[in-house]
Structure 1
Amino acid sequence: MAPKAGKAKPKAKGDKKKKEEKVLPTVLDVTVEAPDYTHLTLKGISTDRILDVRKLLAVHVDTCHITSFSLSHEVRGPQLKDTVEIASLKPCHLSIVEEEYTEELAVAHVRRLLDVVACTTAFGVKKPEQKPAPATDAAAEANKPGSPGSVVAGGGGGGGGGEEPMYPPPKLGEFYDFFSFSHLSPPIQYIRRSTRPFVDDKREEDFFQIDVRVCNGKPVTIVASRAGFYPSGKRALINHSLVGLLQQTNRGFEAAYKALMKAFVEHNKFGNLPYGFRSNTWVVPPVVADSPSVFPPLPTEDETWGGNGGGLGRDGKHDHRPWVKEFAILAAMPCKTAEERQVRDRKAFLLHSLFVDVGVLKAIAAIQNLIPDDKSSHEKANGTASSVPHTQQIGDMKITVTKDKADASSKSDVKLDGSQAPGVSFDELAKRNLLKGITADESATVHDTATLGVVVVKHCGYTAVVQVPLDAQLTTVVPAQQDIHIEDQPEGGSNALNVNSLRMLLQKSCVQSPGAVQRLQSSDPEENMATTNFVRKIITDSMQNLEGEAPRETRPIRWELGACWVQHLQNQTSEKADGKKSDETKDVPTVKGLGKQFGQLKEIKKKSDDKSGKSASTKDSTSPNTNDAHSDNTASTKEDKEAILQKALTEAAFQRLKESETGLHAKSPDELIEMAYKYYDDTALPKLVADFGSLELSPVDGRTLTDFMHTRGLQMRSLGQVVELSDKLPHIQSLCIHEMVVRAFKHIVRAVIAAVDDINDMAQSVASCLNILLGPFPEENNDGKCGEDHNLRQKWLEVFLMKRFGLAWKDEYSLDLRKYAILRGLCHKVGLELVTKDYDMDTPHAFRKSDIISIVPIYKHVACSSADGRTLLESSKTFLDKGKLEDAVNYGTKALAKLVAVCGPYHRMTAGAYSLLAVVLYHTGDFNQATIYQQKALDINERELGLDHPDTMKSYGDLAVFYYRLQHTELALKYVNRALYLLHLTCGPSHPNTAATYINVAMMEEGLGNVHVALRYLHEALKCNQRLLGVDHIQTAASYHAIAIALSLMEAYSLSVQHEKTTLRILQSKLGSEDLRTQDAAAWLEYFESKALEQQEAARNGTPKPDASIASRGHLRCIRSSRLYQSR
């Protein structure tokens, strides 16, 4: 829905007119003159600024090594500021001007060179691995159909009969291969700070010396100075860049560096250089496995060379910031217009981001201070020994640290929406959240200071709550004209806090000698047995506690549920006003993939349609106006109820609720709770499943599933209901079951971590826990203990899923579990970093002590960005789905501008806006601009979110399609295969996104002339869509059409006709004859029929065959966008 335009104030100097006439962004060529007088042409966007040009130069092979420079323009002059818009530069021609270094900039320059060459050493797995003998058959095991390395769901994935799988089972050990250039000779072996004395007298402009060893070369000492770098004692050879100096003085380095740059261009000539990465993924870079006790940092985070884990607040400057006052000022800032909210939201974003960074850092420090003092033994580790909270006050921040219980049945008492008031009952909390939701506006997050000022951190068996206490007096007396002075985030918001950098290393006992490494890898059998028994006891005790647990009477409510409920009621009202006539003639669209219980939603709609115009529509009690006509609802009782709500709400909130025209203002809180529950069960849950079935939403893992449910106000405890409603959507059922299993196992791992008394025992205990939870089935292993462990975890799953999710466990669920997906989910939720290798989970001891590298903090806080920006994004998505591309581009552009203004151009929250606008522009045919935006999104996602984050995964897939449309097919195939590898690792081959990606792979193989390979992928996609979505789903039609195209390239036109007829039939039934996609299919069918006739004529007359190449000119709209429509 498009947002309503706010009441704009009169603007001086024609500002308003300018905004209305704003031109949409276009691709812009930026010419940059390098210091060596060569000219580079960069592809930018007309809305880019100088900061964006600097980022483009950083990912260009000719300039990625340059760091200390400014940009000048012949008209605007030298040292252009980062905020200057490049569209204002006429001509768009810039020059790089080398600037002098400070010591800090010189250190950053060294770090950049180390970063650029790191891909030659950091990401490659050494071939002669030091592993015990039994592991030599790991490769053979990974190729077995049922091996855990295959990550196939239920063995139903690829190909038929004795064929090889459609896609080779992904190996976790190959995770970093996409970024590895280890086949090349490293240009640099090492760079170290030199301890040698200066050969010449050290001058004032000299900063420090470094010892550099290049490939096949002797160490050379280089001096870093204000003007650049020079070999010790040879000042005359000074060069502004370290790369320039080494190229000038060492031919071996020059050759190796050129080879690396050439490889970068071959990898992707448009950018996306493999450097700047951070250790932010659950599997660590392979270089870490060589020195796990040290955890060699990637250059970006190497503190030796000025790097860090990102974020702000490490310097302690903000420890005593007046948080209470500033959060109160935020809540009082003007916010009536979109312009006012943008100013306020920028302040809120900066302040809240700083608060979260400082809060997390201080919480981790407080926890780490407690870890050595925890003397409790395994026998006493039930949470009682250290149940007394540790409290610390730092300025306005109050930090409360408690020891977690070593009981997997215990529920977390700490929630973001209730942590400020621990004495509040569940009933009161549900009521408070619902009232917040039904009265929410664009300022709901900022005005809820109690929740905004809370961060919850879990780490190493402790939970820390950081909060800024409310000051009731201050919130009422703070004058709105006060302002908050806060610095902007550097580099456009990039390099946000990487919480993995605050890891607790678990391999501290590993010393340097090879013997110690060998001992570490082959765990002591007695120690292994002791920790295994320890874990079994925790599971057994927790299960007894869980079985005796009384059910919670009150259902919790998320505030988002109230907001979605109000929107649903308003949509109902507008539909009744607008669509009475159209409802009479329009058939209700049937969406395949809905379970039998979805009938509830259809019945609600039917009842309201049948009884429209009559007051008898009281059956749908989620609509509050239905009881207004009853005689017992007198004016006095209505006024009483309004008075109760007025007391519970602020005047502005109550007025908003009244003006929403939903009638909710006339209900008592108890009535509202009851109606909200009914809306939840009868409408919200079935609507979620309907959107899953239509692929409006397409989750690929537990994280995306959780996000989709939480944004609609749905609780994860409803996963059992979602499974029942999704009985025609096996991929959704599989995702839900996997998420429930992950959550069940998460509690066990957390309990084990909390129970360990000595941090040196942590790695072994976690490894034993993972071996029990992810161990083999009894029939896969003859070990008697395997059967006991299997029965134990099976019993735990049965009890936990019934108690927490109301789902009865079935034996067939075990057969469909993808162990790598569960392992990945566990590592995300618990905070584990593992060695990157193939784990053979068909054996009872797949995980060793040496595999568990570290524990990283898990933290939660509310998201604070721009509600207006998110609304614009949703509007853009809606217009895209409706095919209104001009409106989609317009709203997508506005959304991006809003999020850039609030969050910064390179913050992780902005990446989603780049990605959506790229998809929208792709559908308009502007592939160049779409590619530029998607490359930006991918660069941000890889560095800020993680290398296997769902958004990163999606960027790979979408970017591949864009490259294909630009006719860079081999490059496209490289990126789509990366997307496919990650999809197989997370959601497996039986998923609509995987099937859609198969179609895209087929298009690319087809473009390379491999039609037979393409057909295999297309048939696999068709089988997958038929199995998951139904034989008459739009995505199934997409598969039929893609096969028809491929067959036409093989000149099998009669078969093309058959497949296209099926496509047309499905689209006519689903979309109607007027839809553009249906019309496309009709045109294609006519084309294939004409070609079939030509072919028959040619066969009869002996004339040359018709030209088949025309068939590759384009695909059906629903094919072309098959991967892209699943962007939610």
Structure 2
Amino acid sequence: LTIESDDIAPALVQQHSAGERVGNDWNRGDTAVMNGDASHDQAEEADSKQDGNADADPAEDANEQEVIVIQDTGFTVKIQAPGTEPFDLQVSPQEMVQEIHQVLMDREDTCHRTCFSLQLDGNVLDNFAELKSIEGLQEGSLLKVVEEPYTVREARIHVRHIRDLLKSLDPSDAYNGVDCNSLSFLSVFTDGDLGDTGKRKKKGNELEQIDCTPPEHILPGSKERPLVPLQPQNKDWKPMQCLKVLTMSGWNPPPGNRKMHGDLMYLYIVTVEDRHVSITASTRGFYLNQSTTYVFNPKPANPSFLSHSLVELLSQISAAFKKNFTALQKKRVQRHPFERIATPFQVYSWTAPQIDHAMDCVRAEDAYTSRLGYEEHIPGQTRDWNEELQTTRELSRKNLPERLLRERAIFKVHSDFAAAAMRGAMAVIDGNVMAINPGEETRMQMFIWNNIFFSLGFDVRDHYRELGGDAAAHAAPTNDLNGVRAYSAVDVEGLYTLGTVVVDYRGYRVTAQSIIPGILEREQEQSVIYGSIDFGKTVVSHPKYLELLEKTSRPLKVQRHAVLNEKDTAVELCSSVECKGIIGNDGRHYILDLLRTFPPDLNYLPVEGEELAPESQKLGFPRQHRHRLACLRQELIEAFVEHRLVPLLVSWMHFNILCNIFTDPKSREVVLNACKAVGSISNTSFDIRFNPDIFSPGVRFSDDSTEDIQKQKQLLKDAAAFLVSCQVPSFVKDCLDHSSLPMDGATMTEGLHQRGINMRYLGTVLEFVDNMPAKAQLEHIYVRKGLFYILKMEFISNFTKTVIKTMHLICLGVELSALSAAVSHFLNCLLSSFLDAVAHLPADELVSRRKNRKRRNRVPGGGDNTAWASLTPSELWKNITSEAQSYYHFNLQCESVDQAVEKYGLQKITLLREISIKTGIQILIKEYNFDSRHKPAFTEEDILNIFPVVKHVNPKASDAFHFFQSGQAKVQQGFLKEGCELISEALNLFNNVYGAMHVEICACLRLLARLNYIMGDHPEALSNQQKAVLMSERVLGIEHPNTIQEYMHLALYCFANGQLSTALKLLYRARYLMLVVCGEDHPEMALLDSNIGLVLHGVMEYDLSLRFLENALAINSKYHGPRSLKVALSHHLVARVYESKAEFRSALQHEKEGYTIYKNQVGEAHEKTKESSEYLKYLTQQAVALQRTMNEIYKNGSNASIMPLKFTAPSMASVLEQLNIINGIIFIPLSQKDLENLKAEVQRRQLMQDSGKIEEQQGGQLELDDKLPVDD
């Protein structure tokens, strides 16, 4: 039996003669897969609505049948490329011919070919044909690679591909954040692929060869937080230079007469041997010509070395190229594929080394052309994003293969659109795009680039004047994006939303949207046939929109309602008045301006004459907010409705049984009253919906709807009270139970959002923790103190929201040539102890040119404001405290960074990381002396770049997610093998939709690895977890809290697989990352230190082991209370090490502490107490034997007749057993009868949970046993 020791809800499952329960990991997996977007219930409801599958079980069975349809067996074909031996390639019938092209362009021996076709029996295969549709293609078929003539486009693709091959080991693209490259450092700590067992040392010699000493800064208690180890360099890797220069020739493009000779373009190359050559790319291939830098002579040189591939040509003219390119490709293919594959969305690094700026023809070409990717369907033309986005949504979805194809197309187009929108937004702010209204003020300008519309986040023409001005204009795009996300998740056929991306870059907020066909040809008043363009003063409606929006109203909890237009006529709406309906020239029904999709948050919307619920009032609500667009989150709406309905549903079910509810008139009256009580809009069913226009200024309702309006107002007040009276305490309880452990600002935000709590409530959460009743149990007092400390740390990190506002104001006003100086000055004022932080204006670059620029037509970032230079540290911190008070309503009481460090235990490096990530700053990776009072920490040379911060919709793989959930359910029901198969199938479906890299695939791999490990397949666990770590590094970031967790899991599997040295390196890496992200004082650090201590114990490094285990004991005592079961286990682990050191007095002392805790918490009869008692007896015997021996020695001197005491090193099996226990996996041998009884108990509890009784009947001793770690 395997039990997760820290989970609350018990579940027991069976595998042969062992069962298992996997708790927290499944929860974390759920979180990662949902990714904080629309709730699964809503998505599921929408899916069932669209697909007509109301009953879940038949749908699931159908899905399982459909999987068989798409799982045609693969087959093998032979590939014959020019100059190589034929080789076998495993393919799938669903693959397209193009995918074989990609495989060949990645293989070591064929990677230099790009312009070729695949032929079967002399027939050219269509690139976009599926293999199963090709006549005659079967097992063993021979596909020939045939070289094709080049075009200009194909020649450019070829040069780009060769450049990518030459830079395949160069991390500069990852540091610069281009082409979806990102960083990964796992291979530095694993010395290559973990699956390569041949590289592992023999187990017998393993202990002698391990260097266990960690760097000084990783040891417990170290105050040093170096930055350089964040991006370690692989000492074995030396950059191999194949060419000095590869660039486009200045003789491009070819003149007309040379075009007619087949010349496509000219390249200029300098080899490593310093040979300068000019190369012609022609339709037949590449050859040397006779041109020089100053003389154009396109005739072929003698010899010309005509080659179809540029690599073949360069290999003939440069021996160094041939040698180094071959070695480079060998190293490239040895890297794990997940280190090389592009991520779906760009991930940026907030630190980077100083990289030499080398000549790069592709980069230069990209910068000076509006390249949108050479994958365009029609070369030379921009993509019609709106048509692509809407066409993919119109694809059929009747069965699983169709849904997969549709979701894959949606995801691909969306990720392409997000990348193009990001590039366009940067081009707009950098001044590379002409405004469509260039005569207007900069703030009011709008732009069109690549068929995407861009607008800036300012209050144009006082549109938001009554709602908060620029503050409202800044908040509106994110509200609108949340609305787009919600309507996209419901996915109603015939209703269309715009592609929307929100980009924060250099202080500006840019909204990028796809363009409705025809909208630019007419005035807005003529276009809008539904909704209002002036916040409710004039309102129109349309029957088709009412029909479409009615389908979304139930899942989105939006009430259909009537408002009065300017003629006092009632107009029916099924959304907020701001939601506009426009029929495009393509005949599609679009909705836009979805900023009020969810109802207003009355806690931050004071309304004259309205009183909030007492729960809100006693906490000081309503409070003034900087704008009037504060909305409740969708997660809160879902939780509130569930909170209202579940108790009544349970009582209604019992009443139904007792009274035969459908025939008894009195019973019907009971249901009617119950519906009224919860605020349902129906008299016969519980259906709670919200009117989003309640409290909207300018919106009027008819007199006959007064009663309904009052009910809606009360419902909104109840929802606002529910947030502060239920959700905030629930979040704090999650932290107290350690089921939610935020490490940084991102995970704190995610945790709050999952409970439906907006970030503006962070001050309220802190107040709640601070005011928790002192009569709580002793343990909770300890936990409360620890939790308050964490929240204060996270609050300081999250107050960067207010810091960012100051930062943005600085960026908005500064001239571009002084931007790095402004940013470095801001960071000095925020983080440096140097009080005299005076900005230095670079006179040669800034002042001397300003006189000539007064009349210049400026781009958005081209101000000449130098007010930033007068900012002082005290002034900045004064602004921060006042902003914290006005936004979070929390008194920060800090006048400098050093006060914050002293008062809240803040780490400057942590704050630097938070600010850099949230604002897109990239700094030079070096050691910064924040505490120097003699010079500032940052100079302008330390600011390397500013990246965009991008928000967009994340399209979901719905079928894959359902399989994932079914797999989890199977595992928790006891069917381990079936669960593993379902999760494997979910992984295949995720890959089918998302490609190879995605955060949800990462969660899937982690759970598969966990199951592999529990089922005893350690190598497979290692392989899957290695992929999970690589993917987490690539798609989330190298120091993201999830990445740290993945490192810990991988270390456990490495230890179980006998790779002790690697396990230690991984754990040290995880500890360093955690120190940077949140510091040493965090509950998760106790688990990490326990892991490190145990591994060190296993390799007999007892003194080092004690340092980590005693630190874990201290942290557990702080956050769980000195009487908790975790502390008892920590005492036991420390005692074991002292026993190995023969320091039995110390061992006895710790084991007695553990025994006392067990006896008080679970009683003397409990197995854990008995085990501790037995171990105490053993330690006492050993101590007595040692003392007797010592006495003999003191009495008689050295005597050969005394038997030496045996101090045996701990066995690897016993260390692994303890590692499993602390990581929540415990194996207990059970008989078949025991298993049957346990299965029956699981089913009984499941039934109780379904009827809503589980919480009432589960408690006391049972709950304690569930949490209790059990040893063998």
Paired letter, 1:750: H
Distance 2:383 2:126 in 1: 34
Contact 1:194 1:209 in 2 (8 A): yes
- Tell me which residue corresponds to 1:676: 719
- Tell me which residue corresponds to 2:1017: 926
Distance 1:761 1:1094 in 2: 72
Secondary structure of 2:512's partner?
strand
| Structure-to-structure mapping, 1:453-532, within 5 angstroms | 453-467=499-513
Distance 1:308 1:274 in 2: 22
Q: Deviations 1:379-434 (Å, cap 9, x if unpaired)?
A: xxxxx9947522456798654335589x999634344677669xxxxxxx9xxx8x
Distance 1:68 1:1045 in 2: 65
- Tell me which residue corresponds to 2:473: 413
1:686 to 729, 732, 747: 729
- Tell me which residue corresponds to 1:913: 1004
Contact 1:904 1:910 in 2 (8 A): no
In the TM superposition, what is the alpha-carbon distance from 1:673 to its structure 2 partner?
Answer: 1.6
- CA change 1:795–1:748 in 2 (3 A) is same
- Tell me which residue corresponds to 2:798: 740
| Structure-to-structure mapping, 1:27-66, within 5 angstroms | none
Paired letter, 1:690: K
Contact 2:119 2:145 in 1 (8 A): yes
Secondary structure of 1:171's partner?
coil
1:983 to 1071, 1074, 1084: 1074
- CA change 1:935–1:330 in 2 (3 A) is same
1:110 to 162, 168, 174: 162
Q: Deviations 1:106-159 (Å, cap 9, x if unpaired)?
A: 3244223322342599989xxxxxxxxxxxxxxxxxxxxxxxxxxxxxxxxx99
- CA change 1:216–1:445 in 2 (3 A) is same
Contact 1:178 1:978 in 2 (8 A): no
> Which one is further off, 201-210 or 968-977?
201-210
Paired letter, 1:986: V
In the TM superposition, what is the alpha-carbon distance from 1:959 to its structure 2 partner?
Answer: 3.5
Contact 1:442 1:867 in 2 (8 A): no
Contact 2:288 2:306 in 1 (8 A): yes
- Tell me which residue corresponds to 2:633: 558
Distance 2:56 2:235 in 1: 55
1:1116 to 1193, 1200, 1218: 1218
Contact 2:175 2:349 in 1 (8 A): no
- CA change 1:936–1:679 in 2 (3 A) is same
- CA change 1:299–1:195 in 2 (3 A) is closer
- Tell me which residue corresponds to 1:807: 890
Paired letter, 2:909: Y
Distance 1:96 1:1003 in 2: 56
- Tell me which residue corresponds to 2:929: 840
Secondary structure of 2:471's partner?
coil
2:816 to 752, 759, 766: 759
Secondary structure of 1:1115's partner?
helix
In the TM superposition, what is the alpha-carbon distance from 1:715 to its structure 2 partner?
Answer: 0.3
Distance 1:24 1:236 in 2: 51
Contact 1:912 1:937 in 2 (8 A): yes
Whether 2:831 is the aligned partner of 1:774: answer: yes
- Tell me which residue corresponds to 2:919: 830
Distance 2:964 2:1068 in 1: 29
- CA change 1:954–1:11 in 2 (3 A) is closer
Secondary structure of 2:1109's partner?
helix
Contact 1:720 1:807 in 2 (8 A): yes
Distance 1:1065 1:169 in 2: 37
Distance 1:1053 1:38 in 2: 68
- CA change 1:35–1:322 in 2 (3 A) is closer
In the TM superposition, what is the alpha-carbon distance from 1:745 to its structure 2 partner?
Answer: 0.7
- Tell me which residue corresponds to 2:755: 712
Paired letter, 2:632: I
- Tell me which residue corresponds to 2:353: 286
Distance 1:204 1:796 in 2: 69
- CA change 1:714–1:809 in 2 (3 A) is same
In the TM superposition, what is the alpha-carbon distance from 1:733 to its structure 2 partner?
Answer: 1.4
- CA change 1:970–1:955 in 2 (3 A) is same
- CA change 1:863–1:634 in 2 (3 A) is closer
- CA change 1:630–1:362 in 2 (3 A) is same
Secondary structure of 1:177's partner?
coil
Contact 1:946 1:952 in 2 (8 A): yes
In the TM superposition, what is the alpha-carbon distance from 1:558 to its structure 2 partner?
Answer: 1.1
> Which one is further off, 1000-1009 or 314-323?
314-323
Distance 2:1138 2:80 in 1: 50
Gaps of 5+ in 2: 1-29, 31-39, 177-212, 290-300, 517-527, 531-541, 552-582, 587-622, 659-667, 694-707, 770-783, 841-867, 1190-1201, 1227-1272
| Structure-to-structure mapping, 1:61-460, within 5 angstroms | 102-118=154-170, 169-178=224-233, 186=241, 189-193=244-248, 280-283=347-350, 285-288=352-355, 290=356, 303=366, 317=381, 320-323=384-387, 327=390, 345-369=407-431, 386=441, 389-392=444-447, 398-403=453-458, 411-415=471-475, 443-444=489-490, 453-460=499-506
Paired letter, 1:823: L
> Which one is further off, 706-715 or 312-321?
312-321
Distance 1:300 1:1025 in 2: 52
- Tell me which residue corresponds to 1:533: none
- CA change 1:1065–1:754 in 2 (3 A) is farther
In the TM superposition, what is the alpha-carbon distance from 1:1108 to its structure 2 partner?
Answer: 3.7
Distance 1:71 1:1030 in 2: 68
Paired letter, 1:765: A
Distance 1:418 1:856 in 2: 19
Secondary structure of 2:738's partner?
coil
Contact 1:319 1:394 in 2 (8 A): no
- CA change 1:905–1:1011 in 2 (3 A) is same
Distance 2:63 2:728 in 1: 43
Contact 1:680 1:714 in 2 (8 A): yes
Contact 2:679 2:715 in 1 (8 A): no
Gaps of 5+ in 1: 125-157, 377-383, 422-428, 486-547, 581-612, 615-624, 651-664
Distance 2:750 2:674 in 1: 43
Distance 1:1073 1:19 in 2: 55
Contact 1:26 1:45 in 2 (8 A): yes
Contact 2:472 2:628 in 1 (8 A): no
In the TM superposition, what is the alpha-carbon distance from 1:1085 to its structure 2 partner?
Answer: 8.5
- Tell me which residue corresponds to 1:425: none
- Tell me which residue corresponds to 1:817: 906
Contact 2:1113 2:1127 in 1 (8 A): yes
- CA change 1:1018–1:409 in 2 (3 A) is farther
In the TM superposition, what is the alpha-carbon distance from 1:748 to its structure 2 partner?
Answer: 0.4
In the TM superposition, what is the alpha-carbon distance from 1:271 to its structure 2 partner?
Answer: 6.4
Secondary structure of 2:456's partner?
strand
Whether 2:962 is the aligned partner of 1:902: answer: no
Which structure is larger by alpha-carbon Rg, 1 or 2?
A: 2
- CA change 1:967–1:208 in 2 (3 A) is farther
Q: TM-score, normalised by structure 2?
A: 0.57
Sequence identity (%)? 21
Secondary structure of 1:707's partner?
helix
- CA change 1:108–1:754 in 2 (3 A) is closer
